[in-house]
């Protein structure tokens, strides 16, 4: 039975060593809550580090036995691996880069090596556990190399990946020395998820610029698979927060807190200690607020909860000192005998006490400098059981895309934060209730369970689409069967595309002249009296005749406009009009003028814009613009716009490679048919082939063809096998 395997850096459990004895305590994190229903169902499992370095094998065996009871499998890490893989590469290289703090990033090769080593450890554990039909869901930035590692060993398995932190723009991401490895690692997944569309856009842009892969509408073509990239905003366990906030235990805690705070208006700030959270900037804004609005002295208190994090890292030590000093300065300037403007807690709190703070707070101040999602704001909304409260939210948090009724601010604009605080503390209860009610509907509907379900549904859909267009690699027994049927056939028809099939692409399309090896192969193939060899190309007929006209082969040029059987003259498939070129040519010339490095190829009945030499992202953008422009101009005309491999072509709609190939199929009665091509235009050829034909796509396994080969060298090798086999 197919299972789901969840993989993350940490298991949803805390292992502690108390008096030489291991204790196991469930984690209360959002991910653990959301995926709890998944990994505990049937034989599903969760793979991750248990959170403690175990030195003794006996302790490891104890941990394995206990964790297996809860459907978990541990990956044990050493102290050095934690220092270099987790604290090092994950949190001193990737974390600052992905949060737009590149100036803090450390580029240390030993950290990168440890990161690769630990990702491989996770891969080895997956390989021990996974079966062919399983679904693997990998989480977050600590495991960016893992999808491709698993894909290499299990090429057909279903893999999803979700990143919980932002993905930076191309201009920031490109600074990473290991940028290609990271992108290629992530592209091992079938579906890649982020919190926001901005992250999706940045990731796709980096893939286009750095790897040169084609991408359209959230689908990246890797050459052998289509990878889908989409946004899946993560939610919280709404019922858990709402029910806890209503509980009698929390109500009692709220009463105790209110007595201590003397019923002042509360502004609540909860964060883990991190420079991406904007804690110093928040304190400076509150300090300015107190300066500008003295009427609020002794009327409002900022409760600032900072959860300790990475206390041994120098940057975090410096940040802790800065926060301490700011709190001290504000309280030193404004406190009275009965009032401290900032109640500062450098610690974590039990869940019920956090719930009490959420219920108590009139305003939630959530102003990260950059955040993937930020669930604190959603937890606050779910806990507002009386329907009041105000949320001040940074535009830089992913949650801002969903919670538009909040007071949205730029955390870098201290004056805007001050104005937002004043607005929040003076807003009417009616307006509070309207905004909270609207956001509560969103948080409740799009909760953590919805997030899990929609991601898994989309992953299944993506795999289904992949399989629907998936071809089989032509090798081994299949290739032997093809050769045997070729040998036994009495009349054979062989269709071969040219560019990208027989000859590799070059930056200049005019420099793809056939080499001697290819000419000799075609000569040998066509010399067999049982063979009818047809070159079927988008090239103009003059060039094909110049390069291949001396060979005993047939040719189809310009996607089917011009036809020539060996020893006959070229003729058109039908009478076509090319007067349209006078109106369209200036459009192509304008795009050549606008985009240095591109060129216009003119055929008898087609115009082609080539952009192989230019930046891939610019090329894709211009190609989209040109296609849209042309499609608008040719409405209701017998013309067709096609986007191929680094080209945009316009031609008469009455012809295509498939229609031309059908003429040969009708004229001859072959008992063996082979068609090989690499482009979208070759799909027309494949569709016209009889069911028993061998149809082969080059370079991409997504096709209506039955089989695929990876490169032009593989095609040459196949032809060599055919010409070298018994006649």
Q: Is the pLDDT of residue 28 over 70?
A: no
Q: Is the pLDDT of residue 589 over 60?
A: yes
Looking at mean pLDDT, say which of 215-219, 424-428, 658-662 comes out highest: 424-428
Contact 708, 472 (CB under 8 A): yes
Give the pLDDT score at 415.
97
Q: Is the pLDDT of residue 609 over 80?
A: yes
Sign (positive/negative) of CA torsion 388, 393, 395, 398?
Answer: negative
Give the pLDDT score at 701.
65
Q: pLDDT category, 357, cuts 50, 70, 90?
A: very high
Contact 11, 48 (CB under 8 A): yes
pLDDT (tens digit per residue) in 267-319 = 999 999 999 999 999 999 999 999 999 999 999 999 999 999 887 778 899 99
Q: Is the pLDDT of residue 726 over 50?
A: no
Whether 371 sits among the annotated catalytic residues: the reply is: no
Looking at mean pLDDT, say which of 20-29, 423-432, 537-546 comes out highest: 423-432
Q: pLDDT category, 263, cuts 50, 70, 90?
A: confident
C-alpha torsion 590→594→600→606, nearest 10: -50
All structural domains of the chain: 4-231 (3.40.50.2000), 239-446 (3.40.50.2000), 472-574+655-724 (3.40.50.1000), 581-652 (3.30.70.1020)
Give the pLDDT score at 612.
87
pLDDT (tens digit per residue) in 124-161 = 999 999 998 999 999 999 999 999 999 999 999 999 99
pLDDT (tens digit per residue) in 513-565 = 999 999 999 999 999 999 999 999 989 999 999 999 999 999 999 888 899 99
User: 619-651: buried (b, 16+ CB within 10 Å) or exposed (e) per residue?
Assistant: bbebbeebbebbeeebeeeebbbbbbbbbbbbb
| Partners of 599 in beta bridges | 610
Give the pLDDT score at 468.
76
The least confident of 81-90, 211-220, 389-398 is 211-220
Sequence-separated contacts (24+) of 620-627 with Cβ below 8 Å = 620/208, 620/214, 620/215, 620/216, 622/591, 622/594, 622/595, 622/598, 623/648, 625/591, 626/587, 626/588, 626/591
pLDDT (tens digit per residue) in 164-202 = 999 999 999 999 999 999 999 999 999 999 999 999 999
Q: Is the pLDDT of residue 34 over 80?
A: no
Q: Is 270 left (phi over 0), alpha (psi -120 to 50) or beta?
A: beta
Q: Is the pLDDT of residue 727 over 50?
A: no
Pairing of strands 562-564, 571-572: antiparallel
Give the pLDDT score at 312.
77
Residue 415, class by beta-carbon neighbours within 10 Å (0-12 exposed, 13-18 middle, 19+ buried)?
exposed
Pairing of strands 694-698, 672-677: parallel
Q: Is the pLDDT of residue 500 over 80?
A: yes
Of the candidates 237, 497, 554, 714, the residue annotated as catalytic is 497
Determine the distance from the C-alpha atom of residue 450 to the mean position of all C-alpha atoms in its chain, rounded to a whole number.
Answer: 20
DSSP 3-state helix, strand, coil percentages of the chain (rounded to 5)?
45, 20, 30
Give the pLDDT score at 706.
92
Give the pLDDT score at 643.
84
């Amino acid at each position: 039975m197919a299972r789901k395997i969840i993989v993350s850096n940490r298991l949803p459990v805390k292992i502690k060593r108390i008096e030489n004895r291991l204790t196991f305590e469930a984690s209360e994190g959002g991910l653990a809550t959301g995926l709890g229903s998944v990994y505990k169902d049937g034989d599903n499992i969760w793979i991750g580090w248990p959170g403690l370095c175990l030195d003794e094998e006996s302790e490891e065996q104890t941990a394995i036995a206990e964790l297996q009871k809860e459907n978990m499998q541990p990956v044990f890490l050493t102290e050095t691996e934690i220092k270099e893989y987790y604290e090092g590469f994950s949190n001193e290289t990737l974390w600052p880069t992905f949060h737009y703090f590149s100036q803090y990033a450390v580029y240390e090769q030993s950290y990168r090596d440890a990161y690769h080593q630990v990702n491989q450890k996770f891969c080895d554990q997956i390989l021990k556990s996974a079966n062919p039909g399983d679904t693997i869901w990998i989480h977050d930035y600590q495991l960016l190399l893992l999808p491709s590692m698993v894909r290499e060993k299990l090429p057909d398995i279903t893999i999803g990946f979700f990143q919980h932190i932002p993905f930076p723009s191309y201009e920031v991401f490109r600074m990473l020395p290991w940028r290609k490895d990271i992108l290629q690692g992530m592209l091992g997944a079938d579906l890649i998820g982020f919190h926001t569309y901005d992250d999706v856009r940045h990731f796709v842009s980096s893939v286009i610029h750095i790897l040169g892969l084609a991408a359209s509408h959230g689908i990246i073509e890797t050459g052998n698979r289509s990878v889908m990239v989409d946004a899946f905003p993560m939610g919280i366990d709404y019922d858990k927060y709402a029910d806890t906030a209503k509980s009698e235990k929390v109500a009692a805690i709220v009463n105790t807190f209110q007595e201590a705070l003397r019923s002042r208006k509360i502004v609540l700030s909860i964060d883990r200690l991190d420079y991406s959270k904007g804690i110093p900037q928040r304190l400076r804004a509150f300090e300015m607020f107190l300066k500008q609005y003295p009427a609020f002295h002794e009327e409002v208190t900022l409760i600032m909860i900072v959860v300790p994090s990475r206390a041994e890292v120098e940057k975090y030590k410096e940040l802790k000192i800065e926060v301490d000093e700011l709190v001290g300065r504000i309280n030193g300037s404004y406190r009275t005998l009965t009032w401290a403007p900032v109640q500062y807690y450098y610690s974590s709190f039990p869940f019920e006490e956090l719930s009490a703070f959420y219920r108590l707070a009139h305003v939630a101040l959530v102003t990260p400098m950059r955040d993937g999602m930020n669930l604190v704001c959603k937890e606050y909304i779910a806990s507002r059981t009386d329907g009041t409260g105000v949320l001040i939210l940074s535009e830089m948090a992913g949650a801002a895309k969903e919670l538009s009724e909040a007071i949205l601010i730029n955390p870098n604009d201290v004056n805007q934060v001050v104005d937002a605080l004043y607005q929040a503390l003076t807003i009417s209860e009616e307006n509070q209730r309207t905004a909270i009610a609207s956001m509560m509907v969103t948080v409740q509907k799009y909760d953590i369970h919805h997030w899990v379900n929609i991601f898994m549904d989309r992953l299944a859909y993506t795999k289904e689409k992949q399989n629907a267009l998936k071809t089989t690699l032509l090798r081994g027994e299949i290739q032997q069967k093809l050769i045997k049927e070729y040998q036994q056939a009495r009349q054979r028809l062989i269709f071969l595309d040219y560019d990208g099939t027989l000859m590799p692409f070059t930056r200049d399309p005019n420099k793809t002249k056939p080499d001697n090896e290819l000419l000799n192969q075609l000569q040998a193939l066509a010399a067999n009296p049982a063979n009818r060899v047809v070159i079927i190309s988008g090239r103009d007929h003059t060039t094909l005749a110049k390069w291949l006209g001396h060979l005993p082969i047939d040719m189809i040029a310009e996607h089917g406009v011009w036809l020539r059987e060996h020893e006959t003259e070229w003729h058109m498939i039908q009478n076509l009009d090319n007067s349209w070129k006078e109106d369209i040519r200036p459009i192509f010339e304008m795009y050549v003028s606008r985009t240095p490095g591109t060129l216009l190829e003119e055929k008898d009945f087609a115009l082609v814009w080539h952009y192989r030499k230019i930046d891939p992202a610019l090329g894709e953008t211009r190609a989209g613009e040109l296609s849209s422009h042309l499609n608008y101009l040719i409405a209701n005309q017998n013309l067709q716009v096609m986007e191929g491999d680094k080209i945009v072509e316009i031609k008469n709609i009455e012809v295509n490679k498939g229609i031309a190939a059908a003429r040969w199929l009708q004229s001859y009665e072959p008992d063996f048919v082979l068609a090989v091509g690499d482009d979208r235009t070759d799909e027309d050829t494949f569709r016209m082939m009889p069911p028993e034909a061998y149809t082969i796509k080059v370079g991409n396994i997504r096709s209506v063809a039955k089989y695929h080969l990876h490169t032009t060298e593989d095609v040459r090798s196949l032809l060599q096998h055919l010409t070298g086999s018994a006649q």
